[in-house]
Amino acid sequence: MSSTSRARLHPAALTALIVGGVVILGALGFLAWLLTSTQSTPNQQATQKLVQWQEIFEKYRSAHGTLPDMPAGGYCLGTGFPLGSGGTANCRDYAAATYYTEEAGAPLREALASVGELPQGVSAAVRGTVGPYALYDDAGVRLLTAEDGACETPAVEVWNDGGGLFICQILLTR
């Protein structure tokens, strides 16, 4: 006579195995999500901020038929820039002699705010340069920012210092 005997797990042990398996699968799924999710870099964030400013400039152009009228020169886009030369909040080369003051950009920000909410925050500083800022000149309005390494599309490189600082631009023609 042969008898087959099966070992049975206690119901509590079976429950513990199932819960443990679910926890392990959840942890693996979370790890896979972390590894595959796109983390935005400071360069991507800086370019995204330029795109947001481009959109508000274009919204102004759509409402008024032209870009905001400002004298030739540089203007900080946004607020919250670091204190630099002159003891003022500055963009561009904020601690050097070639800075633009946040205060000087107030009329431009006021004009743009008439058509919508302005983008918030400033970009990460790169080697003493911070953006975003606008440069009004004969070519149009240059929306500029500093990036650490190659510029992110749709911004294009207009200058680099050979040491990692890249000035990236979106050009708005008049």
Amino acid at residue number 79: T
CA 77 to chain centre: 13
pLDDT in tens, 92-127: 999 999 999 999 999 999 999 999 999 999 999 999
Going from N- to C-terminal start, the domains of the chain cover 7-37, 42-172
Pairing of strands 99-101, 133-137: unpaired
Question: Dihedral angle at the C-alpha atoms of 147, 151, 156, 161, nearest 10 degrees?
Answer: 60
Nearest to residue 130, comparing CAs of 87, 86, 94, 85?
94
- What does the buried/exposed string (b/e) look like for 92-111 if buried means 16 or more CB atoms within 10 Å of the residue's CB? bbbeeeebbbbebbeebbeb
Q: Burial letters for 21-40: b for 16+ Cβ neighbours within 10 Å, e otherwise?
A: eeeeeeeeeeeeeeeeeeee
DSSP letters spanning 44-60: HHHHHHHHHHHHHHHHH
Tens of pLDDT, residue by residue over 8-50, are 778 887 787 788 778 787 777 766 665 555 578 999 999 999 9
**What whole-number distance in Å separates Cα of residue 76 and Cα of residue 101?**
7
Taking the C-alpha atoms of residue 116 and residue 65, their distance in angstroms, rounded to an integer, is 16
- What the block records as the tokens of 126 is 């790169």
- Residues 124-164 pLDDT 10s: 999 999 999 999 999 999 999 999 999 999 999 999 999 99
Please, are residues 168 and 47 in contact by the beta-carbon 8 Å criterion?
yes
**155 and 170 in contact (C-beta within 8 Å)?**
yes
Q: What is the DSSP letter of 129?
A: B
Instruction: Please give the pLDDT value at position 10.
Output: 80
Q: What is the pTM of this model?
A: 0.78
Helix locations, the chain, DSSP H: 11-36, 42-64, 106-113
Does 82 score more than 90 pLDDT?
yes
